[in-house]
Amino acid sequence: MIEIQSKPFGKIKVSERQLIKFPEGLLGFGGYKSFALIEEDEESVFKWLQSVDEVDLAFVVIPPSLFKKEYKPLLSQEELSQIGLQDVSEALTLVIVTIPNDDPASMTANLQGPILINKTDLTGRQFVSRNEIHSVRERILESATVEMS
């Protein structure tokens, strides 16, 4: 266990299995290469991707399969091999969530910029999906409702 400072929870302990290395950083944050994947509690579908080096750099993330059953980003074999994967199905796939302060029900997910994590060596990368039907601001609650009907 190591101790880190987190934006949502203050000082916390995380296990080595929660530490994800991003050799390229995340899009727009290339200088930050080490993140911890933190669960608020076992019941929450949301997780936090917290920079180990910068307490104010944290993202709310969610597996897209929870509200878009058929979600599969369009990535090349070459892109996947950069983190040691053969297929998207081998990865832990997460998307960044934006939750407006004034209307949490309007939260959106960036399906165009999925984060894939190699579950074996805990290496991750944020990609740009070439699947044009995926939105940068997919409304989560509306998509979940459509999927259920």
- pTM given for the model: 0.90
71-111 pLDDT, tens per residue? 989 999 999 999 999 999 999 999 999 998 888 889 999 99
How many domains is the chain built from? Answer: 1
What string of DSSP letters covers 49-77?
EEESS-TT-EEEEE-GGGT-TT------H
pLDDT at 149 over 50: no
pLDDT at res. 58: 96
Closest CA to 60 of 22, 13, 9, 99: 99
Which domain range does residue 91 map to? 2-147
26-79 pLDDT, tens per residue? 999 999 999 999 988 778 889 999 999 999 999 999 999 999 988 989 999 999
| Calpha distance 15→60 (Å, rounded) | 19
| Calpha distance 8→59 (Å, rounded) | 10
124-145 pLDDT, tens per residue? 999 999 888 888 989 888 766 5
pLDDT at res. 144: 65
Residue 118: CATH number of its domain: 2.30.290.10
